[in-house]
Amino acid sequence: MNNPDILITGATGKTGRRIHERLAAKGILARPGSRQSAIPFDWYDATTWPAALAGIRTAYLSFFPDLAVAGAPAIIQEFTDLAVASGVRKLVLLSGRGEAHAQRCEEIVLSSGVQATVLQASWFAQNFSEGHFHEGVLNGVIAVPAGQVREPFLDIDDLAEVAEHVLLEDGHAGKIYELTGPELLSFDQVAKQMSEVSGLEVHYSSITFAQNYSMLEGIAGKEFASLITELCREVLDGRNESLGQGVEQVLHRQPRSFAEYCRRAAVSGAWSMVQS
Which percentage of the chain shows pLDDT scores above 90?
81
Count CB neighbours of 181 within 10 A.
26
* 167: nearest Cα among 30, 59, 260, 41: 59
CB 240 within 8 A of CB 152: yes
Share the mean pLDDT of the chain. Answer: 94
Q: Where in the chain is the domain with CATH 3.40.50.720?
A: 1-121
Q: Look at domain 123-153+181-241+253-267 and name its CATH class.
A: alpha beta
Q: Where in the chain is the domain with CATH 3.90.25.10?
A: 123-153+181-241+253-267
pLDDT computed for residue 2 by the predictor: 57
pLDDT in tens, 92-144: 999 999 888 899 999 999 999 999 999 999 999 999 999 889 999 999 999 99
**What are phi and psi for residue 59, nearest 5 degrees?**
-135, 135
pTM for the model: 0.94
CA 53 vs CA 25, 79, 162, 170: distances in Å = 23, 10, 23, 21
pLDDT computed for residue 276 by the predictor: 42
Q: Does residue 257 carry a pLDDT above 50? A: yes
Q: What CATH number was assigned to the domain covering residues 1-121?
A: 3.40.50.720
CB 12 within 8 A of CB 36: yes
Q: Does residue 225 carry a pLDDT above 90? A: no
Q: For residue 56, give the amino acid letter.
A: I
DSSP conformational letter for 169: -
pLDDT computed for residue 273 by the predictor: 67
